[in-house]
């Protein structure tokens, strides 16, 4: 976690949400709401991405271990712990973020 965005160009920018649904993720792991993981529709499973909140400037590194989000328009679903890292005040359940690989 940190407050400085990576120097490389963003892979993608859009809205992030958090999800908290028990079960098995796309890569076969049990979902862990306390883990630094995320769901993304096309990034390779097992890859890491830095998620930078465009309002707070805070970032968190998460590992892609699931597919989604399945709600239109969102680019990534974060665990509650990952969402809290970029929005510690929990001002919104939807955040505008950029992803960096």
Digit-coded pLDDT (tens) for 21-79: 899 999 999 999 999 999 999 999 999 999 999 999 999 999 999 999 988 899 999 99
Tokens of 83: 């969402």
Backbone angles phi, psi at 85, to 5 degrees: -65, -35
Q: Which of 100, 59, 47, 67 is nearest to 83 (CA)?
A: 59
- Predicted TM-score (pTM) of the model is 0.89
Domains of the chain: 12-100 (2.40.40.10)
């Amino acid at each position: 976690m940190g407050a400085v965005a990576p120097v490389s160009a963003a892979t993608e920018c859009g809205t992030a949400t958090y999800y908290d649904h028990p079960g098995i993720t796309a890569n076969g792991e049990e979902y862990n709401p306390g883990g630094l993981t995320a769901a993304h529709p096309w990034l390779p499973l097992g890859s890491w991405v830095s998620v930078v909140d465009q309002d707070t400037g805070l970032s968190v590194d998460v590992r892609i271990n699931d597919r989604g989000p399945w709600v239109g328009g969102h680019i990534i679903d974060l665990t509650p712990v990952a969402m809290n890292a970029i929005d510690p005040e929990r001002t919104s359940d939807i955040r505008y973020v950029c992803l960096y690989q």
